[in-house]
Structure 1
Amino acid sequence: MKLDAPVPGGPCWAELGTGDLEAAKRFYAELFGWRAETDPRQEAGGYSVAHLGDAAVAALSPRYQEAQPCAWSVSFAVTDADVSARLATEAGGRVPVGPMDVFDVGRFAVVLDPAGAAFQLWQARSFSGAGLFNAPGSLGWVELLTRDPDGAETFYTTVFGWTVHSSENYLQWGVGGADFGGMIRMDDKFPPEVPPHWLPYFAVADVDATTQTAVGTGGAALMEPTTVPDGPRIAVLRDPQGAVFGVYVAGHDR
């Protein structure tokens, strides 16, 4: 992505909800070199922040409800979570959680867009989000998969004021023209039970080697390494608990 720090409207954080926190820590440590530190406060519920060096790069957390799927979620930075949540509701979305304070670090809400894709709003206080982007092991791109791309474009440009850059087969989202993500139409190749969703992509030095490591440590490759025409080499992986994420070669704008 062309952003290298959290900015209003841009992605600022990726968070994994998992059914086996300790197994997830081991898997992503092997895959990305992450060092996870668990918040010791009981009310934090096991929330763990993954680091590369001194930089926070993502979170690993137990699922909040038993019915919650093991999945990655993406947070977008906003200046006022309450205002953004209201805009999302007025634009046809739903806000099932929040807005609510998280200790002294920020204020967040969970939003479902009109098609049902979930994401989070993050209003920073003491914590603004990831301290590293686009480097191996850190977030570098986010992608919306939806069956209603026209409705999604209207919704997200209304809520966040995103700029849109469209090619023949791919739409890219941006903040002030700085692209950070894209959108894919879910066609018949996607089983009907797969819901619309946001997919984070993490940068890696070698997509093929990362895929081999993921598969060798209990994960799976949903999309084998492939080179996008005029784009990077990418793969879509699934961790041992079922959470899906993408990887792409660092140093190439996704």
Structure 2
Amino acid sequence: MSDREVLMVTIQVHRPGTIDWLGLSTPDREGSALFYSDLLDWGIVRYETGAGPFLTAEVRGRDAAGILQPQPTIGDMTLPATWTVFIRVDDLEESLLLLSDLGGRIIERPREIPELGRSAVVADPSGAVFSLAAFHPDFGLAVRDEPGALTWCDLLTRDPVTAVAFYTSLFGWEADRDETTGYTMFRLDGAPVAGMMAMPAEVPEEAPSHWLPYFGVADCEKSARRLEELGGTINHGPQRIGIGSFAIAEDPFGASFAILEHVDPTIGRRSTLNSDVLPKVRMHLELESEGESVTATAVLDGFGEPFHASGSAAQSRDRDPARPNLAAELAVVRALSDLHHQILERVHERIDRSMGDI
């Protein structure tokens, strides 16, 4: 009879230039936590840090957002309750210099978030507030495109032309504008990262340009009703569009956000949220021990067709007490080496095809 155990590990690679965290600035952390926990079925985890308590929202045990201390200020003015998108960068100081050169503003200088990394609150030339984040490699959104989690972000701006120049220069995004609708899709290496639209004419002039996060829900109409029962406000919708139904709302403390129910347009019914809406690279690693053998199986997603690889190693009867899991380590190394060779082969194939077209 074989002794068999399976360990599942999921690793997410957090890419610079992507929206990789959400932070809610609110005058009432506990009240906000109760509202979103009910609406989006969040679990709330409290961490004590050197900067005070930090609340993390989880979707089925995976980090989905942070609920932050009171709102940032500009001079003597406190910004209203708001959702802030955090865009990951490699070098925070260099990005801040470039942002300033492009006409952006630094609202809060870089600060250390204990055990997570560093971030700075900034604004684009039209006033839309967001954060630049140089987080630790293993920190960021751990869940997307599921009910309760971030599924999209739109920039609503009063100056689309300047916004395109700003974001494409700052993050290397490409801008793809639909001339029929006026909607712009921002892409990074061809993968969608966010959208942009001109501020609708009916929005009051005093409303600033802003980023709007969309959270996935299973039933938009039902969630909209519950949102109002909890003290929130629906400002638009629910409205049906090609990919489903959405509504734009405010929480009880004035922070704007949207809810989005995805529908498969080919069959007209609810679908799982599109896992490719936001760019990500994920590796699923499975370790299986059976008898004297350990096998590691890896699947790497995020580059189109997934890569599959495996590696094995034999358990030694005379294990080194200092490295009791040596066989598992060797199996993983061999699987990752196999992945590496496959990626190189695909790169060479694309180079050969490109050279053949010249």
TM above 0.5, yes or no, is: yes
Q: Is the 8 Å Cα contact of residues 231 and 252 (structure 1) preserved in structure 2?
A: no
What's the Cα RMSD here? 1.7
Q: Distance in 2 between matches of 1:5 and 1:202?
A: 21
Partner letter of residue 56 of structure 1?
Answer: D
TM-score, normalised to structure 2's length? 0.66
Q: Which residue of 2 aligns with 1:241?
A: 253
Deviation at 1:233?
1.1
Q: 1:1-254 maps to which residues of 2 (within 5 A)?
A: 6-41=14-49, 43-64=50-71, 67-125=78-136, 127-167=138-178, 168-169=180-181, 170-228=183-241, 230-250=242-262, 251-253=272-274
Gaps of 5+ in 2: 1-11, 263-271, 278-358
**How many Å separate the matches in 2 of 1:232 and 1:176?**
26
CA–CA distance in structure 2, aligned partners of residues 36 and 55 of structure 1: 11
Per the TM alignment, residue 54 of structure 1 is displaced from its structure 2 partner at its CA by 2.1
Higher deviation after alignment, 51-60 or 130-139: 51-60
1:20 and 1:14 map into 2 onto residues whose CA distance is 17
User: 3-state DSSP class of the match of 1:154?
Assistant: helix
Note the residue ranges of structure 1 that are not aligned, 5 or more in a row: none
**C-alpha distance in 1 between matches for 2:210 and 2:258:** 13
Question: AA paired with 2:196?
Answer: M
| Alpha-carbon distance in structure 1 between the residues aligned to 2:115 and 2:215 | 28
Q: Is the 8 A contact 2:26 2:68 kept in 1?
A: yes
Counterpart position of 2:341: none
Q: CA deviation at 1:44?
A: 2.8
TM-superposition CA deviations, 1:113-162 (whole Å, max 9, x none) = 11111100111216521100101100111110111000000000000011
- Does the residue aligned with 1:40 lie in a helix, a strand or coil? strand
Counterpart Cα distance in 2 of 1:220 and 1:103? 34
2:58 maps to amino acid? H
> What letter is aligned with 2:207?
V
Structure 1 counterpart of 2:353: none
- 3-state SS, counterpart of residue 152 of structure 1: helix
- Aligned pair count? 249
Amino acid at match of 1:135: E
State the alpha-carbon separation in 1 of the partners of residues 244 and 100 from structure 2: 36
Residues in 2 aligned to 1:51 and 1:161: alpha-carbon distance in whole angstroms = 30
Counterpart CA distance in 2 for 1:164 and 1:233 is 25
Instruction: Give the Å deviation of 1:107.
Output: 1.4
CA separation of 1:5/1:144 partners in 2, compared to 1, >3 Å: closer, same or farther? farther
| Alpha-carbon shift at residue 111 of structure 1 (Å) | 1.2
Moved more, 16-25 or 93-102: 93-102
2:246, 2:260 within 8 Å by CA — same for their partners in 1? yes
The one-character-per-residue Cα deviations of 1:80-121 (angstroms, maximum 9, x if unpaired) are 111111111111111121223222311111111111111001
Write the letter of the residue equivalent to 2:153. V
Q: Is the 8 A contact 1:85 1:99 kept in 2?
A: no
The structure number with the bigger radius of gyration is: 2
Percent identity over the alignment is 33
